[in-house]
């Protein structure tokens, strides 16, 4: 993953490149939580180990999926703006039936 992210950073603007650097650290930290969660019941041989495992898995899942998606969407928005695309403000329209 490090090589892929570093290669991608070479083609990006400084702002998008900085976010991609953050994505690398997010991957590194969040993916290291999974083995820790797996070993949690061995480290804490009680109910706290089971609860700690679930909490650690939840934190790892949220950070490696949700936060990653948000950061990747930010990079995509930056690239879109650099390519000249302008986002329109979100508007709610109502449809009335006759």
Whether residue 97 has pLDDT greater than 90: no
Range 27-49 average pLDDT = 89
Report if residue 6 sits inside a domain.
Answer: yes
Sequence-distant (6+) residues with CB within 8 A of 15 are 78
Whether residue 41 has pLDDT greater than 70: yes
pLDDT tens per residue across span 43-92: 888 888 888 899 999 999 999 899 999 999 999 999 999 888 877 777 77
Our count of domains for the chain comes to 1
| 23 C-beta neighbours (distance < 10 Å), count | 20
Helical axes 2-9 vs 14-43, angle rounded to 10°: 160
Domain hosting 28: range is: 2-82
Q: Is the pTM of this model over 0.75?
A: no
Report if residue 94 sits inside a domain.
Answer: no
């Amino acid at each position: 993953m490090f090589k892929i992210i570093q290669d991608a950073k070479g083609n990006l603007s400084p702002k998008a490149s900085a976010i991609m650097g953050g994505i690398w650290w997010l991957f590194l930290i969040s993916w290291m939580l999974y083995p820790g969660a797996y070993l949690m019941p061995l480290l804490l041989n009680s109910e706290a180990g089971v609860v700690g495992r679930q909490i650690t898995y939840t934190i790892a899942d949220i950070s490696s999926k949700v936060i990653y998606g948000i950061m990747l969407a930010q990079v995509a928005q930056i690239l879109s703006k650099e390519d000249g695309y302008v986002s329109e403000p979100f508007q709610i329209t109502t449809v009335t039936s006759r």
